[in-house]
Amino acid sequence: MYIVPERAIADLMTRAAAFEAVEKVFAAMAAGDAYNFPVVREALGHESALYGFKGGFDRAGLTLGLKAGGYWPNNLEKRGLINHQSTVFLFDPDTGKARAMVGGNLLTALRTAAASSVSIKHLAREDAKVIGMIGAGHQAKFQLRAALEQRSFDKVIGWNLHPEMLPNLAEVAAEFDLPFEAVGLDGLREADVIISITSSFDAILKADQVSPGTHLACMGTDTKGKQEVDPELLTRATVFTDEVAQSVTIGEAQHAVAQGMIAEGDIHQLGAVINGAHPGRTSADQITLFDGTGVGLQDLAVAASVVELAVQQGIAIEVDF
């Protein structure tokens, strides 16, 4: 049994490896080779923590297991620990024996970034030049870094509820030698690709603040009640997601579906585009929208990838379990 501790992940895992793992598992999901188990999510009534399990099985990649963990809102203030804490456990699908235990904190950030990045590869216009960010927190930096590798962008623009956080985006833009510009929401009309990564419970972006031809990746909505964009936008866009069942219940599409503006059948799996079963973008002025809800299989895929790297590089701790 292998252990890859949290502290080892940063040096091991690359954005490219995360991208490849997530792209492959999205494709396996759409092909019916991989599926997610029901999510367990519990408010513990202790330290105000949310805790749960996201599991799944990828028959193609032979990846089985779960991510366990959650959100401890007092960690940082009380103990100097990050508030999101998770661990991934992998099992041998042939025997049921534990195969690996992997720190899940950085992996979660990387797999979430990889998801919007995969959507950009497969859905954004090839000639996309301006990327717009809604949200400028810790996770926004991961999303932006991964996105910038997918097209020849020449400018980053961004909006955040708290403008004092915008330097986070400017910092990443500078890493890629790109200019950054803070904009109002109307300014996002200039963007060819927009990523929203907030914890908003109200629509931030209005439908008419999005230009024809734009690809949007809505990455913040992962719970009932959360919302980042005007549901009207989903009627104008071709809508894709990681998992339709989550999209209509806890994802960005929950609102448009609940209001009868779109139906579940209007939402397509991104994996189907990867597999070639869905054409994806078919015109330059089409709006595409990826509703990234986050599934357990993404966590398992990046964890399996990092275990492989750790074993190759002799960094995995081997335990006779």
- The sign one gets for the Cα dihedral 198, 167, 123, 37 is negative
Rounded Cα–Cα distance for residues 258 and 239 (Å):
15
Please report whether residue 98 would count as binding a copy of itself according to CB under 8 A.
yes
Among 19, 27, 70, 273, binds a copy of itself (CB under 8 A): 70
Contact stretch for a copy of itself (CB under 8 A) within 47-55, 133-141, 198-206, 252-260:
47-55
Q: 3-class SS at 172?
A: helix
Which of the residues 24, 54, 67, 141 is marked catalytic?
Answer: 67
Please report whether residue 314 would count as binding a copy of itself according to CB under 8 A.
no
Rounded Cα–Cα distance for residues 141 and 169 (Å):
6
Size of the site for a copy of itself (CB under 8 A): 47
Q: Return the number of the residue (93 or 213) whose C-beta is nearest a copy of itself.
A: 93
| CB contact at 8 A, 24 and 61 | yes
Please report whether residue 142 would count as binding a copy of itself according to CB under 8 A.
no
Rounded Cα–Cα distance for residues 50 and 151 (Å):
37
| CB contact at 8 A, 55 and 296 | yes
Question: Which pair of structure tokens corresponds to residue 148?
Answer: 């910038």
Please report whether residue 6 would count as binding a copy of itself according to CB under 8 A.
yes
Please report whether residue 278 would count as binding a copy of itself according to CB under 8 A.
no
Contact stretch for a copy of itself (CB under 8 A) within 77-85, 161-169, 216-224, 278-286:
77-85
CB of 274 to a copy of itself, least distance (A): 22
Among 15, 31, 52, 211, binds a copy of itself (CB under 8 A): 52
Please report whether residue 251 would count as binding a copy of itself according to CB under 8 A.
no
Please report whether residue 61 would count as binding a copy of itself according to CB under 8 A.
no
Residue for token pair 């330097």 = 167
Q: Is 24 a catalytic residue?
A: no
Question: Which pair of structure tokens corresponds to residue 172?
Answer: 């990443």
CB of 138 to a copy of itself, least distance (A): 17
Specify whether the backbone of 81 is left (phi greater than 0), alpha (psi in -120 to 50) or beta: beta
Cα dist from 83 to 67, 86, 88, whole Å = 16, 10, 17
Long-range CB contacts for residues 162-166, cutoff 8 Å, separation at least 24: 162/136, 165/136, 165/137, 166/136
Contact stretch for a copy of itself (CB under 8 A) within 44-52, 190-198, 244-252, 305-313:
44-52
Contact stretch for a copy of itself (CB under 8 A) within 97-105, 205-213, 225-233, 243-251:
97-105
Cα dist from 205 to 19, 134, 198, 251, whole Å = 27, 9, 12, 16
Contact stretch for a copy of itself (CB under 8 A) within 55-63, 106-114, 218-226, 250-258:
55-63
| CB contact at 8 A, 179 and 209 | no
Rounded Cα–Cα distance for residues 141 and 319 (Å):
35
Nearest one of 145, 161, 270, 231 to 195, comparing CA atoms: 145
Among 15, 31, 37, 129, binds a copy of itself (CB under 8 A): 37
Please report whether residue 76 would count as binding a copy of itself according to CB under 8 A.
no
Please report whether residue 245 would count as binding a copy of itself according to CB under 8 A.
no
The catalytic residues are 67
Binding stretches for a copy of itself (CB under 8 A): 3, 5-7, 37-38, 40, 42, 44-47, 49, 51-53, 55, 57, 59, 64-66, 68-72, 75, 79, 81, 85-87, 89, 91, 93-98, 101, 103, 317, 319-321
